Amino acid sequence: MLDVEKIRADFPMIRNHPELVYFDNGATTFKPQAVIDAVVHFYEYGTSNVHRGDYALSAEADKLYDGTRDIIGEFLNCRPDEVVFTANDTASLNQIVYGLSRTVLKDGGTVLTTEAEHASNLLPWYRLAEERNVKIEYIPTDAVGLISMDDARKAMHDGVKVISVAHVSNVLGTVQPVKELAALAHEYGALIVVDGAQSVPHRKTDVKDLDVDLLAFSSHKMCGPDGVGVLYGKHELLEQMDPLLLGGGMNARFNACGEVTLKHAPEKFEAGTPNIEGVIGLGVAAKYLMSIGMDNIEEYERSLRAYFVSKAKELENIEIYNPDNETGPLAFNGKGVFAQDAAGYLASQGIAVRSGNHCAKILHEIIGTDQTIRASLYFYNTKEEADRCIEAMKGISIENAIGIFF
């Protein structure tokens, strides 16, 4: 079990905002002191570029930066050279789509996805569909965006080259059967791409066990710095894929005729100076999460969510969209109250949540509303904070929501 009080002491944001209940962890998470220290230490003692210098500082930076691949390798159960550092989950997904557009989708094909996806896992595919002979098809889902394997099997056909889904929905917290979808994709010779933005920070992700081909996630949603993402890919796939960005650091040689020889993966995907301190911080964040234990984190979050939902269900002024999901955010609305007004009211009570469509702009096709409030919890949140949020939710009404503006 987690020692949450001890964990909370690791987070300066919690100490510095004692009145705030931060339930917007789906957007970004707080950073523990160890991550902040690692970033500051690099600036104060380690500043230098990577893979370029012939001096001790630069060699040390290389060691820390590339050492993070080992840490993420342990975190995901993959080889270090299967870990590419990008700017964020979005950048990883754009790289994946570009890479596949020049391999398995070169001559066209179908991409199977869902209507519950975040924009970052749809818009790159849409652009590809516009430019190439690529079709986007949606696997039907139930009312909380869940794919049944029966529906997935019905949607599957020989033209499908890629299945691309979020492991966990950022609005509803629905957990897709990724392992089964991977097996289905492989049965047809297709690939599976997983958007892990909302899963990797909250549950053990073993890419070997899941047998996913390509996975994207962001550091900032798992206690790490902003501006860093990870693209995991099976090494042979990465070797086949072309990089989206070209420049220094990723080529082995080129000549005046324009003949370019790229380095191998993962370096060939990391053109230009990377976010060195961010990557080092991500390594510290991953170690921090592993020291707590991803299974412990998942178990704690499940029980906290169950507690929060059981209290929220008692509120007559609140409509919940995903009461039966066991993990992920709670999506709700105040009955008859515009989501942003209600979120504004909660903010006036010291509760930080997000409202709107959460970048999943076609999810309303599934849940029938494009405006929800999202309360997303993390392992440093407590039952007391859930109670405070519930108390504040009791006050959501048209009068109160309007009241905050006058």
Ligand X SMILES: Cc1ncc(COP(=O)(O)O)c(C=O)c1O
Q: How far apart are CA 254 and CA 92, in angstroms?
A: 26
Q: Verify binding: residue 118, ligand X, rule CB under 6 A.
A: yes
Q: Verify binding: residue 115, ligand X, rule CB under 6 A.
A: no
Catalytic residues: 359
As given in the structure block, the two tokens for residue 70 are 């080992």
Q: Verify binding: residue 325, ligand X, rule CB under 6 A.
A: no
As given in the structure block, the two tokens for residue 337 are 């109250």
Q: How far apart are CA 333 and CA 67, in angstroms?
A: 44
Q: Verify binding: residue 372, ligand X, rule CB under 6 A.
A: no
Of 169-188, which residues contact ligand X (CB under 6 A)? 170
Least gap, CB of 224 to ligand X (angstroms) = 11
Residue number with CB closer to ligand X (61 or 171): 171
CB atoms within 10 A of CB 131: 9
Residue number with CB closer to ligand X (200 or 297): 200
Residue 332 to residues 55, 178, 369, 378, 385: CA-CA distances in angstroms? Answer: 55, 26, 10, 18, 17
Q: How far apart are CA 244 and CA 231, in angstroms?
A: 13
| Among residues 68, 120, 349, 372, the one that binds ligand X under rule CB under 6 A | 120
CB atoms within 10 A of CB 39: 20
Binding-residue pattern over the window 202 to 221 for ligand X, x denoting contact by CB under 6 A: ----------------x---
| Strand duo 191-195 + 214-218: pairing | parallel
Helix (H) or strand (E) holding 184: helix 178-187
Q: Verify binding: residue 114, ligand X, rule CB under 6 A.
A: no
Residue number with CB closer to ligand X (141 or 218): 218
Least gap, CB of 230 to ligand X (angstroms) = 11
As given in the structure block, the two tokens for residue 172 are 């509803």
Contacting range for ligand X; rule: CB under 6 A; set: 114-122, 135-143, 204-212, 337-345:
114-122
Q: How far apart are CA 387 and CA 15, in angstroms?
A: 19
Q: Verify binding: residue 94, ligand X, rule CB under 6 A.
A: no
Spell out a b/e string for 276-307, using b for 16 or more CB atoms within 10 Å of the CB, else e: bbbbbbbbbbbbbbeebebeebbebbeebbee
Q: Verify binding: residue 376, ligand X, rule CB under 6 A.
A: no
Orientation of helix 89-101 relative to helix 123-131, angle to 10°: 20
Q: Verify binding: residue 195, ligand X, rule CB under 6 A.
A: yes
Least gap, CB of 114 to ligand X (angstroms) = 11
Residue number with CB closer to ligand X (281 or 401): 281
DSSP structure string for 44-108:
III---SSS--SHHHHHHHHHHHHHHHHHHHHHTS-GGGEEEESSHHHHHHHHHHHHHTTTTTT-
Q: Verify binding: residue 165, ligand X, rule CB under 6 A.
A: no
Contacting range for ligand X; rule: CB under 6 A; set: 66-74, 191-199, 274-282, 288-296:
191-199
Residue number with CB closer to ligand X (27 or 320): 27
Of 218-277, which residues contact ligand X (CB under 6 A)? 218
Residue number with CB closer to ligand X (262 or 353): 353
Q: How far apart are the first and last CA of the chain?
A: 46
How many residues bind ligand X, per CB under 6 A?
Answer: 12
| CB closest to ligand X, residue no | 170
Q: Verify binding: residue 198, ligand X, rule CB under 6 A.
A: yes
CB atoms within 10 A of CB 405: 8
Q: Verify binding: residue 166, ligand X, rule CB under 6 A.
A: yes
Q: Verify binding: residue 89, ligand X, rule CB under 6 A.
A: yes
Least gap, CB of 264 to ligand X (angstroms) = 26
Q: Verify binding: residue 88, ligand X, rule CB under 6 A.
A: yes
Binding residues (CB under 6 A) for ligand X: these are 88-90, 118, 120-121, 166, 170, 195, 197-198, 218
